[in-house]
Structure 1
């Protein structure tokens, strides 16, 4: 028998106030003595760890000497094997009502459910498309070149399932890591997150392995959380786009074919080149700061795009 029924894992990197708000939302709603809350701090420079320990003495704060990334930080806790269930919860989320308890009740209701996610809202309360299909070459080409808009939906791959408003239960391919509830027995079978995915893509790869092992990945609107957006990633400017591109290519290298990976890499390079040209031309004519910033962003992506090809080197 495990020590805990549920362990909630929150990874922090310089998002002190967001984590405090997240913790407040957890403890102001349903909690249990069998639940454990762990905040893994990735070497923040805003006095985060000290603040968490002072404000919430009952939680565990793990301090890392470096920013080891999302996957490695979560794995530090997932490898403990001391909880029946683990919840990956982003630092920039806010739990509403008793969604935690309802999520546990839901995943327990069917032994074939290995992973589940709940309804996620943006800060304006609109629905966030947090579950998706597994990426394919065609879906990435469609996203980049937006054939849906050009040809009236004829070539729509709809990787994000945008026609579904997350108001009904269904089996999905991917549940994003902002709120991902998983059985420990699944982790013991398929392993933890792949740490070669530094930031982005790790949950897609994980869900791919989990589904391949025969488990169901479920979405159910049992409750809601608010996800404000990736504030840690936003601080990285163009690095965010390069990490996202690299994660997509890494997924294709690992789970598809090298040919598809090379094609996806090339398609996304063309996207960055085209956007750099478009925003540069816009700036020449309108002289707006926003246009200049966008042009600079995409130009930096183009000049450093070689970094988007996956290597075994951790970090950026």
Structure 2
């Protein structure tokens, strides 16, 4: 069904996943719109992914096309921080080994029907960014393995969909949200206030230098909205105010 408003990454993908499952699909592929896939990418994923697992292809930069953007990843559950393996390295044998990983970016991910029915859908409160971190944590909790399949390949125009202040805002707010899940109110406030102070100092320094509020504003605003308990899309007034 065509959408006339920006629902966010999570909600828009959930619409597609629900429709695919309603239509009887055995698996769903989530794929960013700023990618180009090898002709056999999907076939390779379907052939190489172990039963009951979630998987992703090797992801290279669009330019230069032989440089790794993502070759599997690691996730630190305590900090919700993720690492892309192979970032900006030249492709080669070291990135051609099929392996189990703890993080998969949802730039491209193959989700079997049984996994979605077991783990559920993306968290729409996050709107965009970190929804893959959240989902990988939930997959781990459910005992679902994650696999990097280098025989499948795509090329990604990194940063082609969003960037700047909005990216920092959502990453800051949503990372705080994930780090504080299940924690005490004292811990949440302490972590939020720390980010608020650091973001505010960065924002003030940028203003003193005469810079337009951008990434530093996003960090500060993300902490503000986390402390206010705000989720979903960033308020229109704040988007305009932040430039």
Fold agreement, TM-score > 0.5: yes
CA distance in 1, matches of 2:84, 2:167: 23
2:38 corresponds to: 96
1:72, 1:193 within 8 Å by CA — same for their partners in 2? yes
**Matching residue of 1:135:** 76
* CA distance in structure 2 between the aligned counterparts of 1:266 and 1:131, rounded to whole angstroms: 33
Question: What residue number does 2:61 align with?
Answer: 122
Alignment of 1:65 with 2:4, yes or no, is: yes
The reply to whether residue 177 of structure 1 matches residue 103 of structure 2 is no
User: In structure 1, which of residues 78, 82, 85 is the aligned counterpart of residue 17 of structure 2?
Assistant: 78
Counterpart among 83, 93, 99 of residue 160 in structure 1? 83
| 1:111 aligned residue | 51
* 1:257–1:88 CA distance, 2 compared to 1 (3 A): farther
Indicate conservation of the 8 Å contact 1:97/1:223, yes or no. Answer: no
Partner of 2:229: 311
Q: Which residue of 2 aligns with 1:300?
A: 217
SS of 1:83's partner is coil
Unpaired runs of 5+ in structure 1?
1-61, 141-158, 285-291
- Larger CA deviation: 237-246 vs 84-93: 237-246
Q: Distance in 1 between matches of 2:191 and 2:51?
A: 37
Any gaps of 5 or more consecutive residues in structure 2? 88-93, 235-243
Match of 2:91 in 1: none
Structure 2 counterpart of 1:247:
174
For residue 160 of structure 1, give the secondary structure of its aligned residue in structure 2.
Answer: strand
For residues 217 and 306 of structure 1, do their structure 2 counterparts lie closer, same or farther at Cα, with a shift above 3 Å needed? same
Match of 2:123 among 194, 197, 200: 194
Q: CA deviation at 1:312?
A: 5.4
Superposition CA RMSD, Å: 2.9
Q: Is the CA contact (8 Å cut-off) linking 2:168 and 2:219 kept in structure 1?
A: no
> What is the CA–CA distance in structure 2 between the aligned matches of 1:129 and 1:315, rounded to whole Å?
27
Change (3 A) 1:160 1:270: farther
Describe the shift of the 1:95–1:131 C-alpha distance in structure 2 as closer, same or farther (beyond 3 A).
Answer: same
Match of 1:174, SS state, is coil
Contact kept? 2:80, 2:175, Cα under 8 Å:
no
Paired residues in the alignment total 222
